[in-house]
Amino acid sequence: ETTCPIEEILRTVQFNYLDQESYVEIPEKNLTTPWAITARFQTSQPSGTLMYMNNENEYMN
């Protein structure tokens, strides 16, 4: 298990972009699965984009 900023990033995303109910449905176990989270985010916010930065500085939207 490694500690990475994914949790902090997603918590920030939660408060800034997501409806809390939509986000809370994602278990913390899945925070290590950014693809699933990104898909859920795009489903919840079709009119917006999520810029996801992991520890390798890759961007997804």
Res 12 pLDDT > 50: yes
Give the model's confidence band at 51: pLDDT under 50 very low, under 70 low, under 90 confident, else very high. Answer: very low
| Cα 27-39-13 angle, rounded to 5 deg | 65
**Residue that wins the pLDDT comparison between 8 and 60:** 8
Per the listing, tokens 């500085």 go with 57
Instruction: For residue 6, give every residue at least 6 positions away whose Cβ sits within 8 Å of its Cβ, in sequence order, or none.
Output: 31, 32, 34, 54, 55
Centre a 10 Å sphere on the Cβ of residue 37 and count the other Cβ atoms it contains. Answer: 21
Res 6 pLDDT > 50: yes
